[in-house]
């Protein structure tokens, strides 16, 4: 029997060490890939690899290849790759007989330069596939988790981050908070929004604008949420501007709003800083839709709520001085309340019968304002001149879908009425 010897090949040894140290692939998998690559080259060279033994030692960068052939009588060798003549076998060891197996070490260098090049290319390709598979498997189950990674480079449309293992993560501009500004080398936090593997080259997409990001930050800051004593039922966000969060407690002794906000806002302040100053309102969740809508419109005081279930709408009635609070600056408060409750909310000014008011119905201005504009304003619950003058300008532009010049002209006409 031939003595087994180790055959080092410098270029392949370097490859083994590189893949083992830099590619973060476990030993068993690496051995399997190396053996598979060797067998691929052997099969291409000899037509089959079935009668070959491949032994790989990536720790040292060694490998051994042995070919097994059956001894046949002289002159009867039909397949030199599988069979060896008796006289040739006895040159290896004198006591070989017909029918026995002969195992010989094969020098990979004898395969030729092209075979070695093919091996390196095959190996590099398989390792790249393994890297992609490892990255995909590592992150596919982490969707919705917060990750912290180092900012590597920022472009106009996205920012590239690198995790502790050197994996590349993408934070698109559309998933960044408007106030985000990242410097190379600093750490940034975000959630894993998705893992795209359609091309076989996984792309890990991060997000800082997702409501889930805010929820994970809350879970980190509020132990009661992490322990399951408080549940976050719904989050509505306009990233970087404002957010409303509905929470519910399963323990009557725990105030969910107070627990989330913390003493003097201690728990929520850290989240606000992380979200670039995004204001956060926390309200108690209730299955009572009318009450939930009332709470969602905080800080405005609501007099009554009328539900239009068929249209999934709610008409909310308030005192005149509460309308602007309900709508909020730029319409943010009412927009977030609608997002939180999943109801389209319209607010109406409710005037008491005994209220002494110097006001004028919009119908009195048909000679100066086109009827269709008055109709659009009435759809917003604005029936009088003071209703319109008391509403935020941005709200009139957005909700009434009017041009800025049109809104300014209407406001001037109504204001002149009271100046007179």
Q: Which two tokens stand for residue 14?
A: 């370097």
How many other β-carbons are positioned within 10 Å of the β-carbon of residue 250? Answer: 11
Determine the 3-state secondary structure of 352 from DSSP. Answer: coil
Whole-angstrom distance, CA of residue 333 vs CA of residue 337: 6
Q: What pLDDT score was predicted for residue 6? A: 38
Residues present in the chain in total: 420
| 113 contact partners, CB below 8 Å, separation of at least 6 | none
How many other β-carbons are positioned within 10 Å of the β-carbon of residue 145? Answer: 12
Strands 83-85 and 62-72: parallel
Distances in Å between the alpha carbon of 335 and those of 348, 399, 417? 15, 10, 31
- 299: nearest Cα among 325, 335, 329: 325
Burial of 327 from C-beta contacts in 10 A (0-12 / 13-18 / 19+): buried
Q: What pLDDT score was predicted for residue 207? A: 96
Distances in Å between the alpha carbon of 209 and those of 139, 176, 228? 19, 6, 24
DSSP-derived letter for residue 253 is T
Whole-angstrom distance, CA of residue 272 vs CA of residue 284: 19
Determine the 3-state secondary structure of 130 from DSSP. Answer: helix
Q: What pLDDT score was predicted for residue 24? A: 58
DSSP-derived letter for residue 64 is E
Q: pLDDT of the chain along its 420 residues, tens only?
A: 444 443 434 455 555 555 555 555 666 777 777 788 888 888 888 888 888 888 877 666 677 888 899 998 988 889 888 888 988 888 888 888 888 998 888 887 777 777 778 777 877 777 778 778 878 888 988 999 999 999 999 999 999 999 988 889 999 999 999 989 999 999 999 999 999 888 778 899 999 999 999 999 999 999 999 888 999 999 999 999 999 999 999 888 899 999 999 888 888 888 999 999 999 999 999 999 999 999 999 999 999 999 998 888 999 999 888 888 898 888 899 999 999 999 999 998 876 654 545 678 888 787 788 888 888 888 887 888 888 888 888 888 877 778 888 888 888 888 887 765
Whole-angstrom distance, CA of residue 145 vs CA of residue 215: 10
Whole-angstrom distance, CA of residue 68 vs CA of residue 54: 11
Burial of 94 from C-beta contacts in 10 A (0-12 / 13-18 / 19+): exposed
């Amino acid at each position: 029997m031939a003595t087994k010897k180790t055959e080092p090949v410098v270029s392949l040894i370097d490859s083994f060490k590189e893949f083992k140290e830099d590619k973060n692939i476990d030993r068993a998998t690496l051995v399997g890939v190396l053996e598979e690559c060797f067998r691929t080259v052997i099969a291409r060279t000899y037509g089959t690899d079935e009668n070959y033994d491949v032994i790989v030692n990536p720790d040292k960068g060694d490998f051994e290849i042995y070919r097994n052939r059956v001894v046949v009588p002289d002159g009867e060798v039909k397949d030199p790759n599988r069979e060896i003549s008796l006289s040739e076998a006895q040159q290896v060891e004198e006591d070989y007989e017909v029918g026995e197996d002969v195992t010989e070490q094969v020098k990979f260098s004898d395969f030729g330069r092209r075979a070695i090049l093919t091996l390196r290319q095959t190996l590099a390709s398989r390792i790249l596939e393994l890297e992609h598979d490892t990255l995909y498997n590592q992150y596919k189950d982490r969707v919705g988790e917060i990750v912290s990674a180092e900012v590597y480079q920022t472009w106009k449309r996205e920012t590239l981050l690198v995790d502790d293992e050197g994996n590349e993560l993408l934070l698109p501009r559309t998933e960044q908070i408007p106030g985000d500004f990242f410097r190379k080398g600093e750490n940034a936090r975000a959630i894993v929004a998705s893992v795209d593997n359609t091309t076989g080259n996984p792309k890990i997409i991060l997000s800082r604008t997702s409501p889930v990001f805010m929820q994970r930050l809350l879970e980190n800051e509020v132990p009661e949420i992490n322990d399951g004593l408080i549940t976050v039922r719904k989050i509505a966000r306009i990233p970087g501007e404002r957010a409303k969060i509905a929470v519910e407690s399963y323990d009557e002794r725990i105030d969910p709003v107070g627990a989330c906000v913390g003493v003097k806002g201690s728990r929520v302040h850290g989240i606000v800083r992380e979200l670039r100053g995004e204001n956060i309102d926390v309200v108690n969740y209730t299955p009572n839709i009318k009450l939930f809508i009332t709470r969602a419109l905080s800080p405005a005081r609501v007099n009554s709520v009328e539900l239009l279930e068929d249209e999934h709408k709610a008409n909310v009635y308030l005192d005149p001085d509460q309308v602007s609070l309900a709508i909020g600056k730029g319409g943010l408060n009412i927009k977030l309340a609608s997002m939180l409750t999943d109801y389209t909310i319209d607010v109406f000014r409710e005037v008491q019968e005994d209220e002494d008011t110097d006001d004028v119905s919009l119908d009195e201005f048909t000679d100066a304002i086109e009827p269709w504009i008055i109709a659009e304003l009435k759809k917003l619950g604005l029936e009088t001149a003071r209703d319109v003058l008391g509403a935020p300008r941005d709200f009139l532009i957005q909700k009434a879908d009017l041009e800025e010049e049109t809104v300014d002209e209407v406001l001037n006409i109504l204001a002149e009425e009271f100046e007179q």
